[in-house]
Chain A
Amino acid sequence: MTIKIIEVLITGLLMGGLYALVAVGLSLQYGVARILNISHGEFIMLGGLTTWALYTALGVNPLLSLAICGPVAFILGFVIHRTLFKRLLASSASPAIFESNSMLAAFGLMFILQNIALLIWGPEIRGYSYLVIPVHFLGTLFGANRLLTFGLALVIGLGFYLFLSLTRTGKAIRAAAQDPPTAGLMGVNINNVLALCFGLGAAMAGIAGVLISMCYPVHGVMGLEYTIIAIIVVVLGGLGSIPGSFIGGFILGLIGSVVTFFEPGLALVAYYVIFILLLLVRPTGILGR
């Protein structure tokens, strides 16, 4: 019994690490750049399918894909912000109008990216096996791939936290999240910071996609589910709070794992229930104000 509980908890934490990464990415885009990026999950999907394609066609190690997909997704996100969202921002009369316009634009982006992926890879479910070596851990068995992805998610999350706390650019991002006009008065080029945040969010999604493909099958329409999970986690953790998103990811992972233990297939339903309860009881989230 205890072994079972430990197993459920560890499974939850492993999943939670991935959720945390996905949610921190969305938190940057929604909390700082004010774009509820419905296409967030598509960057995950692209990361996953690219990794699969590189692995099966060329034998590229998924860890190398990480170093490819992260930067490419960053550039893609940065350019999309520079060309699309920056213009929307300039033409929106108020922040509220920008939020709704940018969400619609992100919807469009979701269909475009999804269809590009379907054109290239088709609708089939793709998977490969990488490091599926059983590892004994506290009396339970886990695949080495799962532990590796968890470790990487933690390291990336921690690295990003240090970046935000210690560097000049990280501080500018936090200042811009709290008060954009005043950050501008300090000499921060807001448009650059927003594009940077959108690009970093996309990079996190791309990296999460690579990690997910190491453990789970991937396919062209997998994105939306992750987008929804990310939105739930961001609200759970508190809008605009990046540590909140990180913690929220682990909480949701644990909940998902417990629910799946009793009734597989109900995890997503449980997420929605939590989401609705949360909106009713504490709409500001765990660390929100």
Chain B
Amino acid sequence: MLEVQDLKTFYGKIQVLWGVSLQVQEGEIVAIVGPNGAGKTTLLNSILGLVRPTSGSVTFLGRRIDGLPSYAIAEQGISVVPESGRVFPDMNVRENLEMGAYYAWERRKEALAYVYQLFPRLKERERQLARTLSGGERQMLAIARALMSRPRLCLFDEPSYGLAPLMVREIFEIVQKIREQGVTVLLVEQNVRRALEIADRAYVLENGRICMEGECTELLESDHIRRAYLGM
């Protein structure tokens, strides 16, 4: 479904991605894990057209999407829950959700009903400004907003970051639920154990390169993962 080939990305003269390749099949949850500063966010932003890769290609459903502006990439059916949520602070919950359905405007009513049923708490806070939500609610809003367009593929950038354990569990349950409803998931996570438990396959990104990949069950057994990421 999504195929990234030999992606190289620079910020000015500094190279951050050194030829990253990965694939996501329809219906999968694929995790990307790696230390801070490895280039995970840069990889997602390169896929989304927020930064321009210098070389390499991104193909979605058989079409090249690298080089397209990010609004056109979104319109292909790719949503994102950005790092730290990035909800629109001075819009209320409902308006934030409506923005998520910007290119599927006619279906926003059904989409609202759908996400309110996933996140009843958002419905209660419909009229509240996003800036006044708690960290967990804000993250839920960011996820719900990403689902409003009924995407084919949803990218998550550390959705559990900074949240309390109960909330973290809830977020991971939602990711699984979304997949069951037919959305393919590419998940960047710091919480490596949880990520490997719910994902089918994973890539380990270190210093801008993929240094390991495979089925999550295998990766959970590997010495490198156990030592570097699971503290064992």
- Contacting B at CB under 8 A, from A51-89, are none
In whole angstroms, what is the CA distance A190 to B71 when docked?
A: 8
Report chain B residues within 8 Å CB of A185: 48, 50, 70-71, 74, 79-80, 82
In whole angstroms, what is the CA distance A184 to B99 when docked?
A: 10
Inter-chain contact B102/A188, CB cutoff 8 Å: yes
Inter-chain contact B99/A179, CB cutoff 8 Å: no
Report chain A residues within 8 Å CB of B180: none
Interface segment, one of B31-39, B88-96, B196-204:
B88-96
Inter-chain contact A178/B71, CB cutoff 8 Å: no
Report chain A residues within 8 Å CB of B69: 184, 189
Task: Check if B105 is an interface residue, CB within 8 A of chain A.
Answer: yes
Q: Name the one of B82, B90, B105, B149 contacting A174, with C-beta atoms under 8 angstroms.
A: B90
Report chain B residues within 8 Å CB of A175: 88, 91, 99
Min CB–CB distance B46 → chain A (angstroms): 13
Q: Name the one of B89, B90, B99 contacting A186, with C-beta atoms under 8 angstroms.
A: B99
Inter-chain contact A178/B48, CB cutoff 8 Å: no
Task: Check if A282 is an interface residue, CB within 8 A of chain B.
Answer: no
Report chain B residues within 8 Å CB of A183: 88, 99
Of chain A, the residue at the smallest CB distance from B48 is: A185
Chain A residues touching B, majority SS: helix
Given contacts A184-B70, A185-B70, contact A179 B102 (CB under 8 A): no
Inter-chain contact B100/A182, CB cutoff 8 Å: no
Min CB–CB distance B152 → chain A (angstroms): 14
In whole angstroms, what is the CA distance A190 to B73 when docked?
A: 13
In whole angstroms, what is the CA distance A187 to B103 when docked?
A: 6
Q: Name the one of A178, A184, A190 contacting B88, with C-beta atoms under 8 angstroms.
A: A178
Task: Check if A4 is an interface residue, CB within 8 A of chain B.
Answer: no
Task: Check if A181 is an interface residue, CB within 8 A of chain B.
Answer: yes
In whole angstroms, what is the CA distance A179 to B85 when docked?
A: 12
Report chain B residues within 8 Å CB of A136: none
Min CB–CB distance A169 → chain B (angstroms): 10
Inter-chain contact B50/A187, CB cutoff 8 Å: no
Min CB–CB distance A89 → chain B (angstroms): 13
- Contacting B at CB under 8 A, from A153-211, are 168, 171-172, 174-175, 178-179, 181-190
Of chain B, the residue at the smallest CB distance from A165 is: B95
Inter-chain contact A174/B70, CB cutoff 8 Å: no
Q: Name the one of A172, A178, A190 contacting B90, with C-beta atoms under 8 angstroms.
A: A178
Inter-chain contact A179/B105, CB cutoff 8 Å: no
Q: Mark B57-75, 1 if CB is under 8 A from A, else 0.
A: 0000000000001110011
Min CB–CB distance A48 → chain B (angstroms): 34
Given contacts A178-B91, A179-B88, A181-B50, contact A186 B102 (CB under 8 A): yes
Q: Mark B78-117, 1 if CB is under 8 A from A, else 0.
A: 0110100010111100010011101101000000000000
Inter-chain contact A171/B74, CB cutoff 8 Å: no
Known A171-B91, A178-B89, A187-B102; further 19 A-B contacts with Cβ < 8 A: A171-B98, A172-B102, A175-B91, A175-B99, A178-B88, A179-B86, A181-B50, A183-B88, A184-B50, A184-B69, A184-B71, A184-B74, A186-B99, A186-B100, A186-B145, A187-B71, A187-B149, A188-B99, A189-B71
- Which 10 A-B pairs rank lowest in CB-CB distance, beginning with the nearest? A187-B103, A184-B70, A187-B74, A187-B102, A182-B86, A186-B102, A178-B88, A189-B71, A186-B99, A187-B71
| 22 examples of A-B residue contacts, CB within 8 angstroms | A168-B98, A168-B102, A171-B91, A172-B102, A174-B91, A174-B95, A175-B91, A175-B99, A178-B90, A179-B88, A182-B82, A182-B88, A183-B88, A184-B74, A185-B50, A186-B71, A187-B75, A187-B103, A188-B71, A188-B99, A189-B69, A189-B71
Binding site for A on B (CB under 8 A): 48-50, 69-71, 74-75, 79-80, 82, 86, 88-91, 95, 98-100, 102-103, 105, 145, 149
